[in-house]
Amino acid sequence: MNSEKELTLIRDYITLPIAITIVNKNRIELKESQYTLRSLYAATATVIINKMRNDLETIRRQLNELHISVINTKEKKDEDSVYFPYLYRGQRCEFTLEREVAKQDIRTKLNNYINEVIKI
């Protein structure tokens, strides 16, 4: 059985790439917009993406040290959840991520990264 820390790492490993995609899509839209401060907004988005990528790399290393390997395919999904297979010390396991929980987690992550950048 995985600890809460290990499960949090798995969840973050799954949700951070989604958050990166969202920020990057917004960055591209902002860059092409007519907003006066579009360069500032796009540059800020780039800073956030870089911070997220650094955190994702740290999470990858931590998972590797714990002998956890998330398989990069969604094994199955239903209306409310997506199931991600992973290997834990050679045993195949499954991580269930409810869509609403994932959305809230991504919103929280984005707000945390934005607040971190604003404090600079």
State the burial class of residue 92 (Cβ atoms within 10 Å of its Cβ: 0-12, 13-18, 19+): exposed
Q: What is the model's pTM?
A: 0.87
Q: How many domains does the chain have?
A: 1
CA distance 25 to 23: 5
CA distance 91 to 69: 10
Summarised one tens digit per residue, pLDDT across range 60-79 is: 999 999 999 998 766 677 88
What percent of the residues of the chain are helix, what percent strand, and what percent coil, each to the nearest 5? 65, 20, 20
Give the pLDDT confidence score for residue 62 in this predicted structure: 97
User: Is the pLDDT assigned to residue 1 strictly greater than 70?
Assistant: no
Residue range(s) defining the domain that contains residue 57 = 4-118
Distance from chain centroid for Cα 5: 16
CB environment 76-87: b (16+ within 10 A), e (fewer): eeeeeebebbbe
